[in-house]
Amino acid sequence: MKRPQQDRDFVHATLINRRQFLRATGQAAAVVTAASAGAPAILGATAPGTTIGVGCIGLGTRGGDLLNAVVAAPNVKVVAVCDVYGPHRQKGVERSRNPEVKAYVDYRDLLADPNVDAVVIATPDHWHCPMVLDAVKAGKDIYCEKGFSRTLDEAKRMRDALKRSKVVFQLGHQARQATCALQAKELIAQGILGPITLVRTGRFKSLEPEHANWRWYGYYDQWIRPDPAQVLKNVDWDRWLGPAPKIPWNERHFWHWRCYYAYGTGYAGDLLSHEMDFVQYLLGHGIPDTCVCAGQIALLRDDREVPDTWIAAYQFERLGRTVTFEGSMNTTDRQPVTICGRDATLRFDAIAHDVTTFEILPAGHNRNANLPKGYERGKTPPQPNHMMDWLNCIRTRGTPKCSTDEAFIETATFLMSLKAQQERRMVRWDPVREEIV
């Protein structure tokens, strides 16, 4: 059946964004090399010309993209891959560009491999905590996909273990790599917008009814259902479940884990986290004071547990600031990241990880003749790709853009929306106890 135009446009845009991510990795190589040469050397830093051996754990939808980014980096070699599903494991071997790559079913065997210096973790979220903790024990540097964890207790344990170690950690929020974002961050810090009282963000996407969001098979545009019997033969189901509740084989949980709370946090950790982390990068205001959130399954009643509609409002009381997030999987609306100040508004052209430019709109009373009109290309040095930023910091033992402290802020923030929605009440962050109350 021929797809409607909006679906074809969405798939095309998704693939373009992934290609941009990988292209940026190659283009950033020269930037990273130069940055490595100029960065302060400290005890234990990896020599700039030394090859970093990377092991990739989880090679499904996002994991395959991240592996592509790793193999494009200079002086880096994928020496090991791991997945509990045979075809994904084979995909990792084929994409590694290394005829000597080792393939593992159990991630602990990969962590024990002496050739692995650093790991990329791109598994379902319920595995992030044990894998990060074990990688810290093994002394491996870590790139972990968002969301950082499923619970606040997990986030605390991960944060504390990482901060006690010398591990270089990066959380996978690639919006922080945008050159225009750095320029916007610098302009905002100069106070050109005046007091910032409102920030708007959102995520919207609608597909044809038979192709519901998060119901793909192995990649964002793949809808053909593999033979369940064959999949079961090729997957170690008990290892896939791991710390999650033990249940009989369930192919919908395996392919569509984002739809179930045993493995992730739905809209909160998968989509809202991207936007709120980007706002945190721009403004640095930390964990919000309060949150209210409403969510429901409006149309996608297909046994999923997580809502397809998500509306959250955060308050930063001391700052007099509100940050909103609107999300729906049933509409083609859009809400580019918009920073609203008393004297001017800064509006990006897209959602967080797709931003390429911004405009600045003065308020009616603003008579500042020197107010920038928007993004000035060439003014800000090109920024390394998010993966390259991590690899660069491995060499210098520096701090990546989305480090451990930022990961904890991300988690507390998105979990506030989850708790508020599930308990149908306003929640508050207690900074002394580090609890959502």
When computed from its CA atoms, the radius of gyration of the chain, rounded to whole angstroms, is 21
Could you tell me if residue 61 is inside a domain?
yes
Question: Residue 46: which pLDDT band, with cuts at 50, 70 and 90?
Answer: low
Q: Are residues 93 and 191 in the same domain?
A: no
Query: Where in 29-181 does DSSP place strands (E)?
Result: 52-57, 76-82, 102-104, 118-121, 141-145, 169-172
Average pLDDT for residues 195-207, to the nearest whole number? 97
What does the pLDDT look like over 332-365, one tens digit per residue? 999 999 999 999 999 999 999 999 999 999 999 9
In this structure, the answer to whether residues 317 and 273 fall within a common structural domain is yes
71: pLDDT confidence band, cut at 50, 70 and 90?
Answer: very high
- Residue 338: enclosing H or E segment and its boundaries? strand 338-341
Within-domain flag for 122: yes
Q: Which of 150, 176, 202 is the last residue of a domain?
A: 176
Please check whether residues 128 and 201 belong to one and the same domain.
no
Judge whether 237 lies within some domain. no
> Domain for residue 395, yes or no?
no
pLDDT tier at 48, thresholds 50, 70, 90:
low
Note whether 50 and 66 are same-domain residues.
Answer: yes
CA distance 411 to 145: 12
The span from the CA of 387 to the CA of 80, in Å, is 17
Same domain, 130 and 276: no
Residue 196 maps to which CATH number? 3.30.360.10
DSSP 231-287: HHHHB-HHHHHTTSPP-S--HHHHHTGGGSTTT--THIIIIIHHHHHHHHHHH---S
Q: What is the pLDDT of residue 27?
A: 44
Same domain as 124, residue 14: yes
Amino acid at 257: W
pLDDT above 60: residue 16: no
Q: Are residues 16 and 155 in the same domain?
A: yes
Please indicate, yes or no, whether residues 107 and 198 belong to a single structural domain of this protein: no
Same domain, 168 and 302: no
Report if residue 423 sits inside a domain: yes
Question: Does residue 123 lie within any of the structural domains?
Answer: yes
**Are both 125 and 199 inside the same structural domain?**
no
Give the burial class of 151: count Cβ atoms within 10 A of its Cβ; 0-12 exposed, 13-18 middle, 19 or more buried: middle
Give residue 353's domain range.
Answer: 178-210+264-381+405-436
Same domain, 157 and 186: no
Residue 190 CA to residue 224 CA, distance in Å, equals 51
Opening angle at CA 104, ends 98 and 110, nearest 5:
85
Asked whether residue 346 is assigned to any structural domain, the reply reads yes
Evaluate the omega torsion of the peptide bond into residue 147 and state whether it is cis, within 30 degrees of 0. Answer: yes
Do 20 and 33 have their domain in common? yes
13 pLDDT exceeds 90?
no
228-273 confidence digits (pLDDT tens): 999 999 999 999 999 999 999 999 999 999 999 999 999 999 999 9
Terminal Cα-to-Cα distance of the chain (whole angstroms): 50
Q: CA-CA distance, 221 to 163, in Å (whole number)? A: 38
pLDDT of res. 426? 98
pTM (two decimals): 0.90
CATH number for the domain harbouring residue 63: 3.40.50.720
